[in-house]
């Protein structure tokens, strides 16, 4: 098992590397701020994908919580999918990405709450149809970055033993709220100024800074929780032996 400091270095390097990819789009493919914001929205989907994997392999000693995965994971997919759908639908219209038409224009609405999945899939299809050159490589970079963090921290650092379903349910929303208030506010300013290069660079650097802060904060909290559980187990063993 790698030392914790080395794991943090690997996952941080992957995070920073993936976040530098937009510079390639800006300098070589003439991306404007709309496509930068679009990429950051797609990252929400990537984060949600890995969060489902985390909930699925979570190792909890309580059997009732393991059984509750059968309800919580589908509920998370529905709720988080609907959240991302509404967010993407807003970005599609505000930043004029894609066709700008309604995802439900065909009139065949899906049953009940599954309409949120329909909105999400339709929004993804419309946005992806208007993707700029090089976007596929940026998305692959995000998958690799989050994948490295997933393996290094959740698997090898054994966060799957100290995390809970409740924590994992709320984790992606915390990231979206903090991240996208800053990104959308900055994106609107850059858009109003017709996407000047210096401000787009500042926007990307802002996102990298916030990402690093959230990454360190998240894993620092989980390291403390892991230490508390280990100390508690030691105390319980001492009590039994006494």
Q: Read out DSSP for 123-158?
A: HHHHHHHTPPTTHHHHHHHHHHHHHHHIIIIIIIT-
What pLDDT is attached to residue 228?
A: 62
Output phi, psi for 103, to 5 deg.
-65, -15
Percentage of the chain surpassing pLDDT 70?
A: 79
CA 60 – CA 72 distance, rounded (Å): 14
Q: What six digits make up the tokens of 143?
A: 């998958």
Average pLDDT of span 51-80 = 83
Residue 115: band (very low, low, confident or very high) from pLDDT cuts 50, 70, 90: confident
* Model confidence band, residue 184 (pLDDT cutoffs 50, 70, 90): confident
Whether the predicted pLDDT of 242 surpasses 80 = no
What's the pLDDT at 63?
62
pLDDT over 90 at 235, yes or no: no
The crossing angle, in degrees rounded to 10, of helices 165-192 and 197-241 is 170
Residue 238's pLDDT is: 59
Query: Is the predicted pLDDT of residue 104 greater than 60, yes or no?
Result: no
Q: Give 7's pLDDT tier (boundaries 50, 70, 90).
A: low
pTM surpassing 0.85? Answer: no
- Segment 16-47, tens digit of pLDDT: 888 898 998 989 888 888 888 889 899 999 99
The Cα angle at residue 44 between residues 201 and 149, in degrees rounded to 5:
85
Q: Delimit the domains of the chain by residue range.
A: 4-226
pLDDT at 136: 92
Per-residue pLDDT band at 225 (split at 50, 70, 90) = low
Q: Residue 172 burial (CB < 10 Å; 0-12/13-18/19+)?
A: buried
Q: How many Å apart are CA 74 and CA 236, to the nearest integer?
A: 36
Instruction: Determine the pLDDT at residue 178.
Output: 72
Place of tokens 């858009």: 191
């Amino acid at each position: 098992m790698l030392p914790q400091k080395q794991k943090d270095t690997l996952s941080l390097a992957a995070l920073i590397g993936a976040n530098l990819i937009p510079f390639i789009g800006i300098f070589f493919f003439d991306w404007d701020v709309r496509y930068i914001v679009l990429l950051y929205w797609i990252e929400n989907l990537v984060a949600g994908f890995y969060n489902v994997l985390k909930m699925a392999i979570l190792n909890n000693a309580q059997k009732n919580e393991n059984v509750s995965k059968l309800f919580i994971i589908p509920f998370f997919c529905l709720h988080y999918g609907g959240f991302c759908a509404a967010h993407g639908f807003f970005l599609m219209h505000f930043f004029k990405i894609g066709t700008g038409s309604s995802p439900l224009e065909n009139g065949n609405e899906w049953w009940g709450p599954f309409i949120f999945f329909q909105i999400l899939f339709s929004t993804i299809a419309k946005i992806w149809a208007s993707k700029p050159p090089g976007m596929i490589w940026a998305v692959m970079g995000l998958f690799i970055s989050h994948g490295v963090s997933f393996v290094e921290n959740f698997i090898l650092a054994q966060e799957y033993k100290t995390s809970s379903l409740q924590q994992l349910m709320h984790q992606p929303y915390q990231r979206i709220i903090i991240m996208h208030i800053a990104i959308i506010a900055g994106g609107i300013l850059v858009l109003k100024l017709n996407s000047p290069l210096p401000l787009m660079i500042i926007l990307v650097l802002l996102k990298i800074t916030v990402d690093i802060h959230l990454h360190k904060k998240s894993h620092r909290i989980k390291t403390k929780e892991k230490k508390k559980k280990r100390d508690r187990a030691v105390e319980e063993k001492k009590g039994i032996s006494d």
